[in-house]
Amino acid sequence: MGSTLNEQDLRSGAVWLASADAAVREGFLRDLSQGEILALPYLFEFWAMPHQLPPEGDWRAWAILGGRGAGKTRAGSEWVRAMVEGARPLDQGRCKRVALVGETLDQVREVMVFGESGILACSPPDRRPNWNATRKALVWPNGAEAMAFSAHDPESLRGPQFDAAWVDELAKWKKGQDTWDMLQFGLRLGERPQVCVTTTPRNVGVLKALLKVPTTRVTHALTEANRANLAESFLEEVRARYQDTRLGRQELDGVLLEDTEGALWTREMLDALRVQDLPEFDRIIVAVDPPVTGKVGSDACGIVVVGAVLKGPPQEWHAVVLDDATVQGRSPTGWANAALRAMEHWGADRLVAEVNQGGDMVETVLRSVDALVPVTKVHASRGKVSRAEPVAALYEQGRVRHVGGLADLEDQMSRMTQMGYDGKGSPDRVDALVWALTDLMITPAAKWRRPSLRTL
């Protein structure tokens, strides 16, 4: 690499440099001029992760949804720099009037301005702005200004006007919609005013509405993406405490978790039913909801493993969902093998398979892989919601719990409503879950209540 850094070098350079051996790294630095060496730490395009770089094209809002420590603040600070700085310290940048909006003025000052990844820390000495505490504003050498505002005071945004804004932790704002609306009225300077939103996602109206606007662009980042800049002890602690929980998916994975209106299961309910220590089960079964076809792009084959403790009367029975072994785009033999591997792994007693779509073919496929596999064939005579509601009632009673690692299954469950499935495709994982718990708990309980039908 020569002494001139072009745009392609900047975007791929950090990855290339990190993977190179010591001699190559030394040679790279030796070829740079003294000025380039001094500038290199402040060339964010060189060091940035993909989610920290602005999207291309024409957009009004850029939302960076990320977990804790994923580098959102650094991305926001660097975006402001890119907006206000020119080629030389006194040259005009694209923007001259910027709004910095946080939950409180203290947070704007301590995180966005003076924080370790704030604007001052990211700015090179010859371009570093000064903080005017009286005006609550940053002032750059080229005359550009960034004014601080609190989301607790939406009216403070009435009057000022801007050509750019950086909004931090929008999903935490108590007066989020009012503040956001007032900011939009003020973004009226320049040819293309834009706003950068850095936030850990939460299920709040102002954020959900923003993400649906056609001119919004979104980037996502996991906390793990920035592990090189985080203490390993921090990562170990949050992994151990929050992995496979709703809070972990939100705060570490940066996933916006929404509860669909009328959902039979809510994420809060599922999080409250998490279990770590497994009991000794009386029965373990694997339930299978086969796809109509086994082609790539077809519906998945839902495969769910559930264990149950069936001592005492039915109201004392309880179950644990142990595994979601669902597979996508497999041939009939492929999903049959996946189901039988799950049986072997968990020591399951029986395999329950819906046969509405494939009839006897489903059992034939399973027995072609294992001729002795114990199979119970079930037929769907009622709709999905009717079958799911009694199972949801078991959850409401606290009689079904989940191990960790069932995020995809729980996503489908949270979209199963009283009006049907509010999602794309078929809820194959939920169907398999419903068949498993129906066979383990609901059908035997019905027989228990009618003594003449009990199995002796």
Decide which of 424 and 294 is more confident: 424
> What confidence tier does 247 reach under pLDDT thresholds 50, 70, 90?
low
Q: Give the model confidence (pLDDT) of 114-136 as tens digits.
A: 999 999 999 999 999 999 999 99
What's the token pair of residue 79? 């975006």
Helical spans, DSSP H, in 69-123: 72-84, 105-107, 119-122
pLDDT of the residue at 178: 93
- Of the chain, the end-to-end C-alpha distance in Å amounts to 81
Residue 240 pLDDT exceeds 70:
no
Residues 321 and 409 sit within 8 Å (Cβ to Cβ): yes
Q: Which residue shows structure tokens 């080229």? A: 142
Instruction: With CA atoms as reference, report the closest residue to 346 among 391, 287, 290, 392.
Output: 287
Tokens standing for 432?
């398999």
- Average pLDDT for 392-399: 92
pLDDT value at residue 1? 35
Q: Rounded distance, CA 108 to CA 131, Å? A: 12
The pLDDT of residue 245 is 62
SS3 378: strand
Would you say residue 406 has pLDDT above 50? yes
The rounded distance, in Å, linking the Cα atoms of 289 and 362 is 10
309 pLDDT band, cuts 50/70/90, is: very high
Mean pLDDT of 326-353: 93
Q: What φ, ψ does residue 7 adopt, rounded to 5°?
A: -65, -40
What is the predicted pLDDT for the residue at 83? 96
Helix 384-396 with 428-437: angle, nearest 10 deg:
60
At residue 14, what are phi and psi to the nearest 5 degrees?
-65, -40
**Opening angle at CA 272, ends 269 and 278, nearest 5:** 125
pLDDT higher at 381 or 440: 440
Please report where in the chains the tokens 């024409």 appear, as a residue.
Answer: 58
Query: Could you tell me which residues come within 8 angstroms of residue 104 by beta carbon, excluding any fewer than 6 positions away?
Result: 150, 151, 152
Asked whether residue 90 carries a pLDDT value surpassing 50, the answer given is yes
Phi, psi of 347 (to 5 degrees): 65, 40
In this predicted model, what pLDDT tens digit does every residue of 29-41 receive, in sequence order? 677 777 766 766 6
DSSP characters over 125-160: GGGPPEEETTTTEEE-TTS-EEEEEETT-GGGGSS-
Give me the residues paired with residue 227 across strands.
none
Could you give the CA distance from residue 19 to residue 185 in angstroms, rounded to a whole number? 47
pLDDT above 60 for 261: yes
Rounded to the nearest 5°, which phi and psi values hold at 125? Answer: -55, -40
352/372 Cα distance (integer angstroms): 14
Q: So what's the pLDDT on residue 449?
A: 57
pLDDT band at 23, cuts 50/70/90? confident
Whether 59 shows a pLDDT value over 80: the answer reads yes
Distance CA 265, CA 412 (A): 9
Residue with tokens 């999080």: 271
* Cβ atoms 99, 138 nearer than 8 A: no
Alpha helices in 163-245 (DSSP H): 176-186, 205-212, 232-242
Looking at residue 3, the DSSP 8-state letter turns out to be S
Alpha helix (H) ranges present in 224-321? Answer: 232-242, 246-251, 267-272
Q: What's the pLDDT tens digit per position in 160-203?
A: 999 999 999 998 898 999 999 999 999 999 989 999 999 988 87
What are the structure tokens assigned to 284, written together? 């373990």
- Matching residue, tokens 């009226």: 188
pLDDT band at 74 (very low <50, low <70, confident <90, very high): very high
Helix (H) or strand (E) holding 196: strand 194-199
- Residues 416-443 pLDDT 10s: 988 888 877 889 999 999 999 999 999 9
- Cα distance between residue 285 and residue 277, in whole Å: 19
* pLDDT value at 362 more than 90: no
Element (H, E) at 344: helix 332-346
Which residues are within 8 A (CB) of 302 and not within 5 positions of it... i.e. 6 or more apart? 287, 288, 289, 326, 427, 428, 429, 430, 431, 432, 433
Q: What is the mean pLDDT of residues 81-91?
A: 93
Q: What average pLDDT score do residues 313-318 get?
A: 91
pLDDT tens digits for range 339-350: 999 999 999 999
